[in-house]
Structure 1
Amino acid sequence: MKKPLLLTTLLALSASLACAAAPTISKRASEIDPRAKEHPEIDFVFTDKKGKPQDTQNASVDTSVKPQGKLVIWLMGHNAQLFERLNSYGLHAIQPHYANKWFGLIPSDKRDSGKVLGDIRLEACTGQDVSDLVSIPQPDSMMERSFQFVKWLAKEHPEGKWDQFISEDGKGLRWDKVIVSGASHGATTSARFAKHQKVDRVVCFCGPRDNYDSWQSLPSATPGNRIFGFSHVLDSGWTGDHYCRSWEMMGLNQFGPIVNVDISAPPFQNTRRLITDADVKGDDKRAHGSVTPGGSAVKDKDGKYIHEAVWHYLFNHPVDQTGSPTPADPDCVKDQQKKAR
């Protein structure tokens, strides 16, 4: 990208972010759909022990921005700063409540067997009975919770034009208009879901991993050029070869090299594999969260986030513009079971 065009893009982005954030629309899943149920066996509940709601879902759209006609489904806790940026790009965004608290409840010998985590993620997303270890019916899945939330938004917030994301038969979402995204376990679930269901785009922050699973190599309903990843090199998922492993198993090396965004400019060689080595004071935990807007993200001397252009790229770069294929990295350990022995 030529520097004048880059400067124009960044100035426009900064101007859009200077505007007031679109209001967040919140509603509990249990109030939207009477079929929604709790599953305390996997800590999937509507309220915590103090009575605080746990099934609150959040959405936002900036109706003053030209819409792209795409819906981001964020599979993580609500990130208002990320949603502000998504809205500034002309994207609708929702954060549904779905079953994602089962990690610590699965015995390690079963969890690390090579197929368990991918199946649980798929069941949590679809409500299909594909895992013997959990039982998540359709009304409590990510797909159905998202659909019911969008239906509610279409009725209660018509000015947002949420109805454009509902299929013509009214039985589900228009997945060709959906971007699934998440951080950490949400990134991994996004990628697993995209193997099953074709979506417009996938954006994985600090992920995916499931380092003993093999689902990353399954045939994918979502083409690899539509999948983007961004992680920090001090993140344990990177130093442990979990992210590079997943990225290569999903074939992302066919769309460009691994690019350090801190020494490169948009469009980052049109790649799908982005990394940063920004200063996080050597803290691997901060590194994990530094790739999304928030308290862990890195700022410049003026107090501005240094990765604004990266976030814009991840959600907006044309999927048909790809980098050159690169060979697999022989130093990235693919057999994590062997490595662990």
Structure 2
Amino acid sequence: MKLLLLLPFLAASAYAATPALEFNDPNPQRYDLSKRASEIDPRAKEHPEIDFVFTDKKGKPQDLEHASVDTRVKPQGKLVIWLMGHSAPLFERLNGYGLHAIQVHYANKWFGIIPAARRDDGKTLGDIRLEAATGEDHSDLCAIPKPDGMMERAFQLVKWLSKENPQGKWQQFINAKGDGLDWDKVIVSGASHGATTSARFAKHQKVDRVVCFCGPRDQLESWQSLPSATPGNRIFAFSHVLDSGWTGDHYCRSWEMMGLNQYGPIVNVDEAAPPYANTRRLITDFDVKGDAKRAHGLVTPGGSSAKGPEGKFLHEAVWNYLFNHPVDEVGDPTQLDPSCEHDLKK
């Protein structure tokens, strides 16, 4: 009986916050570093059959990875892995929150290899996403070895950073065995394709938090309802209502299949203030003049973001909430939305 009573505590302690290492940088500053994956790890290889290469046809490097940290800011002891192209505006904000941030080169251009008969079978996309993220065999349509999966690429980048930038205290994100990252300290995040892969990966691997911008998609897949290694209260999402993924019910479907309705209602951030009913599902209807493409990119910091008359970003509080809201503070459960269609094969 005593053992049974301890189990909830042990489960919770797996996510218990460990004291973050304090910076002792003699010259505190924001560090912005980059290095090619092929230079960090000699095992890294190209996979041209899925357009996963080191250089494009013009010779421009495609495997450049980015990292940043601000030693002037008290560290949270958490690492954000961004699964999209490098975003300087986002990384500046993450560092301002006391978060370390990296962007890794991983396979994300594989849509073209999928036979039409397999593309909409409800399983293929999720399997390839998981193989691209883990470097493990989950799909028969590709062969991505461990050194070329996101997990190992991220680990090798952090190892390089721990030597190249010791002021940043990157070593804290390597596990006790020294053979991978300490995923309990990792936040995975991305936009669109990256948001979808982040959510798929978190089903497989327990992480500290997931932040999905304009996603997850995979509107005909079933992986969203699989048992999740990462509890649903640790998954946050933000979309614009004119994004085709929203108007097509792709996002609301994924959010409900992942059980995010158990942690609060859908909240329009333009009509509410933090903590947004402690929900995990945020939307905006900022005026984009009917431009669905702008709506898709508006939710992440950048040129398409919503701005006020003085040119200041309007969603600063939202971005802060997504990455920093206490995961144990959740909203009231809500029923499934009858207007959100789940069977999109019709």
TM-score (ref. length: structure 2): 0.91
Q: 2:339 is matched with which residue? A: 331
Which SS does the other structure have where 2:188 is aligned?
A: strand
Mapped contact 2:202–2:230 kept (Cα < 8 A) = yes
Distance 1:131 1:105 in 2: 12
The one-letter code sitting in structure 2 at the alignment partner of 1:54 is Q
Which SS does the other structure have where 2:101 is aligned?
A: strand
| 1:229 matches 2:237 | yes
Mapped contact 1:21–1:84 kept (Cα < 8 A) = no
Which SS does the other structure have where 1:337 is aligned?
A: coil
Q: Of residues 164, 167, 174 in structure 2, which corresponds to 1:166?
A: 174
Q: Of residues 131, 140, 151 in structure 2, which corresponds to 1:143?
A: 151
Displacement, 1:265? Answer: 0.1
Q: Of residues 247, 270, 278 in structure 1, which corresponds to 2:278?
A: 270
Greater shift in the superposed pair: 255-264 or 98-107: 98-107
Q: 2:207 is matched with which residue? A: 199
| 1:299 matches 2:310 | no
Greater shift in the superposed pair: 73-82 or 104-113: 104-113
| 1:261 matches 2:269 | yes
Which SS does the other structure have where 1:61 is aligned?
A: strand
Displacement, 1:110? Answer: 1.0
Which SS does the other structure have where 2:181 is aligned?
A: coil
Structure 1 runs of 4+ with >4 Å offset: none
Structure 1 residue ranges without an equivalent (≥5): 1-19
Distance 1:109 1:77 in 2: 30
Displacement, 1:313? Answer: 0.2
| 1:59 matches 2:67 | yes
Q: Of residues 243, 251, 255 in structure 1, which corresponds to 2:259?
A: 251
Q: 1:286 is matched with which residue? A: 294
Distance 2:203 2:196 in 1: 11
Which SS does the other structure have where 2:345 is aligned?
A: helix
Q: State the Cα RMSD in Å.
A: 1.0
Mapped contact 2:50–2:112 kept (Cα < 8 A) = no
| 1:218 matches 2:226 | yes
The one-letter code sitting in structure 1 at the alignment partner of 2:124 is V
Displacement, 1:22? Answer: 2.5
Distance 1:337 1:216 in 2: 16
Distance 1:229 1:108 in 2: 29
Which SS does the other structure have where 1:265 is aligned?
A: coil
Q: 2:22 is matched with which residue? A: none
Q: 1:176 is matched with which residue? A: 184
Output one character per residue of 1:224-261: Cα deviation in whole Å (capped at 9) or x when no partner. Answer: 00000000000000000000000000000000000000
Mapped contact 2:71–2:167 kept (Cα < 8 A) = yes
Q: Of residues 113, 117, 134 in structure 1, which corresponds to 2:121?
A: 113
Which SS does the other structure have where 2:283 is aligned?
A: strand
The one-letter code sitting in structure 1 at the alignment partner of 2:264 is G
Displacement, 1:21? Answer: 8.4
Displacement, 1:66? Answer: 0.2
Distance 2:158 2:288 in 1: 37
TM-score (ref. length: structure 1): 0.92
Mapped contact 1:71–1:92 kept (Cα < 8 A) = yes
Output one character per residue of 1:266-316: Cα deviation in whole Å (capped at 9) or x when no partner. Answer: 000000000000011110000000000111111000100000000000000
| 1:99 matches 2:107 | yes
Distance 2:320 2:109 in 1: 30
Which SS does the other structure have where 1:336 is aligned?
A: coil
Displacement, 1:337? Answer: 1.3
Distance 2:29 2:260 in 1: 34
Displacement, 1:181? Answer: 0.1
Output one character per residue of 1:135-156: Cα deviation in whole Å (capped at 9) or x when no partner. Answer: 1000000000000000000011
Which SS does the other structure have where 1:187 is aligned?
A: helix
Structure 2 residue ranges without an equivalent (≥5): 1-27
Mapped contact 2:29–2:72 kept (Cα < 8 A) = no
